[in-house]
Structure 1
Amino acid sequence: MSTDLNVEINYSEYSILVVDDVISNVLLLKVLLAAQKFNVITASNGMEAIDITKKQQPDLILLDVMMPGMSGFEVAQKLKNDPEVQHIPIIFLTALNSTADIVTGFKVGANDFISKPFNKEELVIRVNHQISLIAAKRIILQKTEELKKTIQGRDKMYSVIAHDLRSPLGSIKMVLNMFVMTMSPQMIGEEQYEMLDSANKSTEELFTLLDNLLKWTKTQTGRLTVVFQDFELVKSISGVFEIFSLVSSSKNIELIFDSNEEINVRGDIDMVKTITRNLLSNAIKFSFSGSKIIIEVKKIGNMAVVSVKDFGKGMSQEEQQKLFNSETHFSKYGTNNEEGSGLGLLLCKDFATKNRGDLWLQSEEGKGSTFFFSVPLKDN
């Protein structure tokens, strides 16, 4: 049977507790609900209703208000104060129809009211509506749990792949780096050297991707902790700069580090280095041979701001809007058709935020881009 929420419901899977001290009302309700294939449970007073609810956990309660000993309002209040059964919806059956009574009912947890004497069709419709809401909620919870398991499985797979491949690929990267640095085209031939250089660059890019993937997975699953410490920013970035000077020289790009001032900051040094590595890697990727890249570190207010400026391909306004949106998964080819995953900048943005800073850019298509990220100064 289909409902207004388009949820297919097998009513025989749902139980309804009918609570009324008048036996004729109980019998009538039992006949009406049984005709809809519901499982019907009955109780003749408030204490019995509470006991049955705790033991059998019905899906819905039809509760008379005017009962001797304990009123329906009191029963509802006790049930809504019990964490194990407070989720069970309650429809009050009552001859009371004043605004004050209705307000009282909703205050103690009513989901709906049916006036006595009730219309049979109205009662069935209101009951079916509550059951459809329950069914929809169960489907949502089920799908949410399935989605959580899917995401957990995906993140675990990403983490395993990145972790298990990182070590052997790191060894290959070191060997290829050594060959490129110690050999020349004259030693092994122009064609062989180009192949070796291409393999070295591809390995560097793949290693960076795996490193970013591993860190991204950890930060998304809450397993990457920010370790705040005081450190000298310029010195830390200088180490990254020296490594990428070798990479940029192979593309005939000049790296300029225009910062001599000592700037002490407080943040996670590994995350700051990861941001710098990704920004420098992107700047080299999108710069033309013979151009330059300028890295600067400045104090602006209570923050240290690092900028990485290139004079390469640049980006349109449309591309910039997509850049930090994980749903668009934006990536762009470099000047030598280098491929990118788009993951690095998402990771940089996340790391900058985690360090109580920010990451932003200025770019013009055909003229280049400048990426900035900030880190709080020490004792700030």
Structure 2
Amino acid sequence: MILEKGNLLVVDDTLDNLRLLSAMLSEQGYKVRKALDGKMALKTISQVPPDVILLDINMTGINGYEVCRTLKDNQKTKEIPVIFISALDDILDKVKAFEVGGVDYICKPFQEEEVIARVENQLTIQRQKKQLQQEIKERKKTEQTLRVYLHAVSHDLRNPVLGMAMVLKNLLKKGKKENKQTIEISNVVLEQIVASCDRQLNLINSLVETQQFEMGGVHLNCTPLNLFSLSQKLSAEWQPILKEHKGILDVLVSSELPVVKADSDRLWRVFENLLANALKHNPPGLKLTITAEVLTPQKLALYTKKNIKKSSQDTRMVICTLADNGVGMNSEQAENLFERYHRGDGAKKTLGLGLGLYLCRQIIEAHGGEIGVITNPDAGAKFWFTLPVFDIKKDTN
């Protein structure tokens, strides 16, 4: 793989020197920009930062030392390497050049081979730094992923495994004590084992799904989706769980609502996570309401409370809400609700990785939508998310 040549800026107030250096570097395949003075150089650098700057010292107006010092004082430009090119060959001039932040110094009259070698040396260093930064970033991401799995194994997965193991060991002890080859298991014990297995499976699915999203391995299977039909099926399937929690779910989604462009399995997961989260963190007797409607970008701003993304302005969106009349939460509790590992106050009494709402955000953002919550203490919570309306002309091409 051949590395691309660098983007260079040559700064010199002597036009002949500027032309000579530019032609020399351009012939070697570098992209070269020119500036005749320090002021022009600073403006050019602020617009498009170069990879390396070749900077003359003795210029009218702002000299090279001042230009370099200004660059090094700026967080956005301080890492750009500056090579001084000057007729000044006194040792003090060179020392000052390095003191203000220069990385190299070439004396005039310069040799083409020397200039190319010093420029290429700085570009190589820059490439190595970028590669190292990327490796550090990937290593941190890997370490973070490992911490998730260690956390899951040591805390979340350990408890249901221990619970199920205790039940099975007690059954074995009972069988040995009574000297029986077969053991009768009550429905209550079976329900405990099944519940433990279900908790383990949910935790494992959350871990795998989180990793897939972060590694870019999950591809949405987006099709035209009828939210009315989806919400009706969801309501029917959740009736036994709602009955157990003495909860009520009202679905107020019109059959006339335009279809959305979405992955039905992933969207089902979002609704389930939101429903499970609401039931888990509220007392029995909760009333939940699902709604969906088409919104203009202006109305959407009432939910997002921030500037609308360009994608939301260019695309018709549907906003879905899941509201409850539960205990709600304050702004501080809601602030990091969709971050990984975040758990609500009531989650300490239940098993979970704190990945449910994080996965909801990942899924909705993968669809090109947004997700959030509107809530106040003792006033319930309203979770909302947006999805693009299916555009026959655009989405079938």
State whether TM-score is above 0.5: yes
Of residues 276-285 and 354-363 in structure 1, the stretch that sits farther from structure 2 once superposed is: 354-363
2:330 aligned residue: 316
Deviation at 1:74, TM superposition (A): 3.4
2:261 aligned residue: 266
Deviation at 1:152, TM superposition (A): 4.8
* Residues 115 and 248 of structure 1: CA distance in aligned 2, closer, same or farther (over 3 Å): same
Find the aligned partners of 2:130 and 2:364 in 1 and give their Cα distance. 35
Find the aligned partners of 2:16 and 2:83 in 1 and give their Cα distance. 18
The correspondence for 2:91, drawn from 111, 120, 123, is 120
Deviation at 1:298, TM superposition (A): 3.9
Find the aligned partners of 1:360 and 1:130 in 2 and give their Cα distance. 48
Find the aligned partners of 1:66 and 1:118 in 2 and give their Cα distance. 21
* Residues 372 and 261 of structure 1: CA distance in aligned 2, closer, same or farther (over 3 Å): same
2:112 aligned residue: none
Deviation at 1:101, TM superposition (A): 11
The correspondence for 1:295, drawn from 290, 293, 302, is 290
Find the aligned partners of 1:307 and 1:226 in 2 and give their Cα distance. 22
- How many corresponding residue pairs? 283
**1:285–1:336 Cα contact (<8 Å) kept:** no
CA-based RMSD of the aligned residues comes to 4.8
Pairing 1:304–2:318 present: yes
Listed one character per residue, the Cα deviations across residues 217-255 of structure 1 (whole Å, up to 9, x for unaligned) are 222222222332112212223333333322233333333
- SS of the equivalent of 2:89 reads coil
The one-letter amino acid paired with 2:132 is Q
Find the aligned partners of 1:66 and 1:317 in 2 and give their Cα distance. 61
**2:52–2:83 Cα contact (<8 Å) kept:** no
Deviation at 1:279, TM superposition (A): 0.8
2:135 aligned residue: 145
Q: TM-score, normalised by structure 1?
A: 0.58
**1:361–1:369 Cα contact (<8 Å) kept:** yes
Deviation at 1:275, TM superposition (A): 1.1
**2:374–2:383 Cα contact (<8 Å) kept:** yes
* Residues 339 and 368 of structure 1: CA distance in aligned 2, closer, same or farther (over 3 Å): farther
Find the aligned partners of 1:150 and 1:343 in 2 and give their Cα distance. 19
Find the aligned partners of 2:95 and 2:234 in 1 and give their Cα distance. 71
What are the ranges of 5 or more consecutive residues in structure 2 without an aligned counterpart?
Answer: 1-13, 33-49, 69-79, 105-120, 165-183, 297-315, 393-397
Deviation at 1:316, TM superposition (A): 0.7
1:371 aligned residue: 383
Pairing 1:245–2:239 present: yes
* Residues 99 and 257 of structure 1: CA distance in aligned 2, closer, same or farther (over 3 Å): closer
* Residues 364 and 150 of structure 1: CA distance in aligned 2, closer, same or farther (over 3 Å): closer
Listed one character per residue, the Cα deviations across residues 93-128 of structure 1 (whole Å, up to 9, x for unaligned) are x8x7457998xxx9xx99343542422033145357
Find the aligned partners of 2:295 and 2:81 in 1 and give their Cα distance. 57
Find the aligned partners of 1:256 and 1:76 in 2 and give their Cα distance. 70
The one-letter amino acid paired with 1:307 is T
Pairing 1:360–2:372 present: yes
The one-letter amino acid paired with 1:271 is R
Find the aligned partners of 1:79 and 1:127 in 2 and give their Cα distance. 27
Listed one character per residue, the Cα deviations across residues 18-74 of structure 1 (whole Å, up to 9, x for unaligned) are xxxxxxxxxxxxxxxxxxxxxxxxxxxxxxxxxxxxxxxxxxxxxxx9999x94453
The correspondence for 2:205, drawn from 208, 211, 214, is 211
Find the aligned partners of 1:338 and 1:117 in 2 and give their Cα distance. 73
**1:158–1:214 Cα contact (<8 Å) kept:** no
Structure with larger Rg: 1
Alignment of 1:343-354 (within 5 A): 343-354=355-366
1:236 aligned residue: 230
Find the aligned partners of 2:364 and 2:290 in 1 and give their Cα distance. 17
2:271 aligned residue: 276
Find the aligned partners of 1:337 and 1:188 in 2 and give their Cα distance. 28
Listed one character per residue, the Cα deviations across residues 146-175 of structure 1 (whole Å, up to 9, x for unaligned) are 33244257659979x99xxx9xx9xxx9xx
* Residues 335 and 255 of structure 1: CA distance in aligned 2, closer, same or farther (over 3 Å): farther
What are the ranges of 5 or more consecutive residues in structure 1 without an aligned counterpart?
Answer: 1-64, 174-186
Listed one character per residue, the Cα deviations across residues 317-362 of structure 1 (whole Å, up to 9, x for unaligned) are 1111222345xx4211438922443322222123223323332222
* Residues 140 and 376 of structure 1: CA distance in aligned 2, closer, same or farther (over 3 Å): closer
* Residues 197 and 249 of structure 1: CA distance in aligned 2, closer, same or farther (over 3 Å): farther
The correspondence for 1:75, drawn from 16, 20, 24, is 24
Listed one character per residue, the Cα deviations across residues 244-288 of structure 1 (whole Å, up to 9, x for unaligned) are 322233333333334462533222222211211111111111221
2:109 aligned residue: none
Pairing 1:331–2:325 present: no
Task: Indicate the percent of aligned positions where both proteins have the same amino acid.
Answer: 18
* Residues 101 and 234 of structure 1: CA distance in aligned 2, closer, same or farther (over 3 Å): same
- SS of the equivalent of 1:334 reads helix
* Residues 203 and 294 of structure 1: CA distance in aligned 2, closer, same or farther (over 3 Å): farther
Deviation at 1:315, TM superposition (A): 1.0
Find the aligned partners of 1:288 and 1:116 in 2 and give their Cα distance. 80
